[in-house]
Structures are given as C-alpha cells and as structure tokens.
C-alpha cells in the first residue's frame, strides 16, 4: 500500500486527543451542521478496504454530532472489514462538516485512473480528500497505467496533472496529504539517496497539499462532547508545531517538485521562504524552481477514531488526518459559495494564496519544527526543510482560521457578484 500512512499514535507529552470538537475550537468553526448544498468525499486506492457505516454512526453519536448517511458510493465496497485509513478519512471529513452531502469513492487503480474517471464522471462533488501518495519519480512502480499508456513516471505525472486540472475546472476542490516521511520520502526511509523525493499527488500544482502539525502546548483539555467528558482528555486550545517522529511517529512531507515548475500563485510566498535565513539542504538535493508543497497544514496526531471490530476507540495520526480536516473545512466554504452564487469554489490554491497575501492572519503561522527525519528515524544522511515565519516547506501557509477565511471568501464572492451585476 502507498497511503500517506495512518498510524497508531504514540502518546503525546500532553496526552491530549483530537476529536471534531477540538478542530472546531482550534480552527474557529462551529460544529453545527452545514446545509446540504455541497458534496464531499474521501478517495481510497489500490483496492483499499472500506469504512463501516455503523462505526461512523457510533463516532458521530459519541461526539454529539448528527448522524450522516453516505448517499453515493463509487467503486468496490465491503463494510464487513473496515480499514483504519478509510475509517479515519470518512469519520473526520464528516466530523468537520456534518450536514454536507457525503460520498465515498474507491479506485482499484492509481492516480491517473481515478483522476480521469472523475474528470469524466457525470456528477462531481465539491471537495475530495486523498490520503495517498508516492515518490513522483517512482509512479510507474505503483501504477499499471504506465505500461498501458506507454509512459515513464515524468509523463505519467504530467498526464495525471492534466486530469486534476480538469477536475478543478469542473468545480472540485482537491486535497492531498503531503506524506509522512519528511522531505526524503518513504521510498528513501534511510536517506541514502543524494536527492529529496517529492510525493505525488501532493506535488501536483492542481491540488491543495496538506502537511501535519501536533500540539506544542495544550492550555485546556476539557471539551463538551460526551466522549471527552467520560473517557478522554481532548484538545480544546493551544499552540501547534510541525509533527516530529519522536512525538507523532512520523514527519510531515514537503519540498519541491522535480517535474513541475512553480505556479504563479505561490511564487511570492515561496520566494520569500527561499530568501529567508533558515538552513536549507544542499542545492543539488532539490529543485528550487519547482512547485513547492505543502500549501497548508492542520493537526495530524492523536485523532480518535472508532472501529468496533478492532476494540473501539484508538488514537491514530498522519497527514491522512490533516487532509480530510482541510477538505471538510473547504466543504463548508464551498457551501457558502453555493448559497451565494450557485457555484463551487473549485481549485482553491490561487484563492488561498491571495487571501494569505492580503490577510495572513487567516492562517495560524506554524514556525517551529522541520521535516528532516523520516518515519524510520534520523539517519546521518537525512536532509530536509525548516519551518519559519510565513510559507515554508513543512507546514505551508499554516493552519486555518475558518472564521476569517469564510469572511474573506464571502467578501470576494460579494465583489464578484457586484461586478457581474
């Protein structure tokens, strides 16, 4: 499997769990249902097992959230053997944006198969989350599409990027985990290569790539949900830092594509980072002119999920947690857009970087941490990037303040409407 690795979380120093109410508190959105205008879904690959609807019901009930019915399932589905990855993706994209219409999609193939199928599907959702990825230079080791198409990994990435672009033009906001093995990537866990490995599809310029944070300090444990009152201490407030292998068991992926040039929408933010005083890997290790990722970040450690067949509640983590978190927030933003204009926001990166330039306070800047280590530890040859003020190749623009993001998105939509009128 080549998922962005969901893992059982080791105990954090604060021993504080993350539940949907934690995310609502940290990222300033109300955990009340949104209207059903927008549609959201996680996407699973390579015949991955499914989530359990009854587990989802139990999860939502324990977190004092309304029950949700998944209205459309595309691809293989067997809820008798719920999988940790699918469970995390489904429980948190729904938990962040209850009320939104929920879909679920599985693909036996890899990225090109899925992207081309969705680009041509009769109906598309507003928001999707993908917790999967692999080195962009080794796409042909995980996809049978390469031999079918007669392409190498570089051409495969280019062909898939075209399909992601089409998806965005159809009004879909696409999110992808940035990876769980630092700048070196899972394909080089012992850091023996003399180049850093960008993760695809996180390195695609047509998706929003999401890195992961952990709690640095927790100033309040008690939340109102039944689960946290009765069984667990849960995050309600505090400060974030980039995840670390010592605390979270993984390191957030990030860096620069070797195949795709830097898009105009992120040039100013990334140029400022490259001119900063942080220590960088040797120039020969990365393409400083490439598409930089991640774009944003969110918490990714100690997420409580519920799988009855595996004993009930357990804490897990990975950028597999941060991507559906952002996708759920985007589903709420899309719902605002649909109410005002009847249209989805579509590909979000140009909008997110524009908001950041004018209103950086709409993102919580994460300035502590790095992605030098891999999930296997820190070998002497490991290289990577450091977090700092502003955009960085560990946590992107930062984590969201939904209350400000929705305000600025609403203002932007109002300006567009007035220009049309």
261 assigned to some structural domain:
yes
Cα 146 from Cα 112, distance rounded (Å): 9
Q: What percent of the chain has pLDDT over 90?
A: 83
Cα 161 from Cα 266, distance rounded (Å): 17
**What average pLDDT is seen over the chain?**
92
Model confidence at 349, pLDDT cuts 50, 70, 90, reads very high
Model confidence at 10, pLDDT cuts 50, 70, 90, reads very low
Lowest mean pLDDT among 36-50, 166-180, 355-369: 36-50
- What pLDDT was estimated at residue 419? 55
pLDDT over 50 (residue 394):
yes
Q: Which residue has the tokens 């399909």?
A: 163
Model confidence at 192, pLDDT cuts 50, 70, 90, reads very high
Lowest mean pLDDT among 5-19, 167-181, 242-256: 5-19
271 assigned to some structural domain:
yes
- What pLDDT was estimated at residue 7? 55
Lowest mean pLDDT among 206-210, 228-232, 312-316, 352-356: 228-232
Model confidence at 12, pLDDT cuts 50, 70, 90, reads very low
**CATH code at position 408:** 3.40.50.200
Mean pLDDT (whole number) for 102-108: 95
Mean pLDDT (whole number) for 357-370: 97
Are residues 19 and 60 in contact, defined by beta-carbon separation less than 8 angstroms? no
- What pLDDT was estimated at residue 333? 95
Mean pLDDT (whole number) for 107-116: 95
- What pLDDT was estimated at residue 8? 53
- What pLDDT was estimated at residue 226? 83
pLDDT over 50 (residue 156):
yes
Q: How many independent structural domains does the chain possess?
A: 1
pTM (predicted TM-score): 0.95
Cα 328 from Cα 95, distance rounded (Å): 8
- What pLDDT was estimated at residue 1? 37
Q: What percent of the chain has pLDDT over 70?
A: 95
387 assigned to some structural domain:
yes
pLDDT over 60 (residue 420):
no
Alpha-helix residue ranges (DSSP H) falling in 231-318 = 245-248, 267-274
DSSP for 328-361, written as a single string:
HHHHHHHHHHHHHHSS---S-HHHHHHHHHH-GG
- What pLDDT was estimated at residue 418? 55
CA 207 centroid distance within chain: 10
- What pLDDT was estimated at residue 421? 45
| Residues assigned a catalytic role | 85, 89, 320
2 assigned to some structural domain:
no
pLDDT over 50 (residue 83):
yes
401 assigned to some structural domain:
yes
Query: What count of Cα atoms within 13 Å lies in the side-chain half-sphere of residue 365?
Result: 13
More confident position, 40 or 415: 40
Mean pLDDT (whole number) for 28-52: 86
1 assigned to some structural domain:
no
49 assigned to some structural domain:
yes
Containing structural domain, residue 329: 7-420
Mean pLDDT (whole number) for 320-336: 96
- What pLDDT was estimated at residue 219? 79
Residues 6+ apart with CB under 8 A from 181: 5, 189, 250, 251, 253, 374, 375, 376
Query: What count of Cα atoms within 13 Å lies in the side-chain half-sphere of residue 10?
Result: 10
373 assigned to some structural domain:
yes
pLDDT over 80 (residue 44):
yes
Mean pLDDT (whole number) for 361-375: 97
- What pLDDT was estimated at residue 279? 96
- What pLDDT was estimated at residue 229? 85
pLDDT over 90 (residue 31):
no
């Amino acid at each position: 499997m080549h998922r962005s690795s969901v893992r059982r979380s080791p105990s954090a120093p604060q021993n504080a769990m993350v539940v949907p109410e934690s995310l609502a508190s940290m990222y300033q959105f109300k955990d009340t249902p949104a209207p059903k205008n927008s549609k959201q879904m996680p996407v699973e690959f390579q015949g991955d097992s499914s989530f359990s609807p009854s587990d989802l019901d139990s999860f939502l009930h324990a977190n004092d959230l309304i029950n949700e019915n998944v209205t459309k399932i595309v691809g293989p589905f067997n809820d008798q053997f719920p999988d940790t990855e699918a469970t995390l993706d489904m429980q948190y994209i729904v938990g962040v944006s209850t009320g939104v219409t929920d879909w679920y999609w599985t693909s036996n193939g890899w990225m090109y198969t899925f992207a081309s199928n969705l680009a041509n599907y009769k109906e598309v959702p507003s928001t999707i989350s993908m917790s999967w990825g692999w080195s962009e230079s080794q796409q042909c080791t995980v996809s049978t599409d390469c031999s079918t198409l007669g392409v190498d990994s570089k051409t495969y990435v280019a062909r898939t990027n075209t399909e992601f672009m089409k998806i965005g033009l159809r009004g879909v906001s696409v999110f992808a985990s940035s990876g769980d093995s630092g700048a070196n990537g899972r394909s080089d866990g012992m850091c023996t290569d003399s180049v850093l490995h960008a993760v695809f599809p996180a390195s695609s310029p047509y998706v929003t790539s999401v890195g992961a944070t952990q709690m640095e300090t927790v100033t309040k444990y008690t939340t109102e949900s039944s689960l946290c009152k009765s069984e667990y201490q849960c995050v309600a407030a505090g400060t974030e830092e980039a995840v670390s292998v010592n605390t979270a068991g993984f390191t957030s992926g990030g860096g620069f594509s070797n195949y795709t040039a830097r898009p105009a929408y992120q040039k100013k933010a990334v140029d400022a980072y490259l001119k900063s005083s942080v220590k960088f890997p040797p120039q020969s290790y990365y393409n400083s002119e490439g598409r930089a990722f991640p774009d944003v970040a969110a918490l990714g450690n100690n997420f409580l999920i519920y799988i009855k067949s595996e004993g009930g509640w357990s804490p897990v983590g990975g950028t597999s947690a941060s991507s559906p978190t952002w996708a759920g927030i985007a589903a709420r933003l899309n719902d605002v857009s649909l109410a005002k204009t009847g249209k989805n926001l579509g590909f979000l990166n140009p909008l997110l970087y524009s908001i950041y330039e004018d209103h950086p306070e709409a993102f919580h800047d994460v300035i502590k941490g790095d992605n030098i280590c891999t999930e296997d530890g820190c070998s002497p040859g490991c290289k990577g990037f450091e977090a700092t003020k502003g955009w960085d190749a560990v946590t992107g623009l930062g984590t969201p303040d939904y209350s400000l993001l929705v305000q600025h998105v609403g203002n932007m939509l109002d300006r567009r409407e007035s220009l049309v009128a």
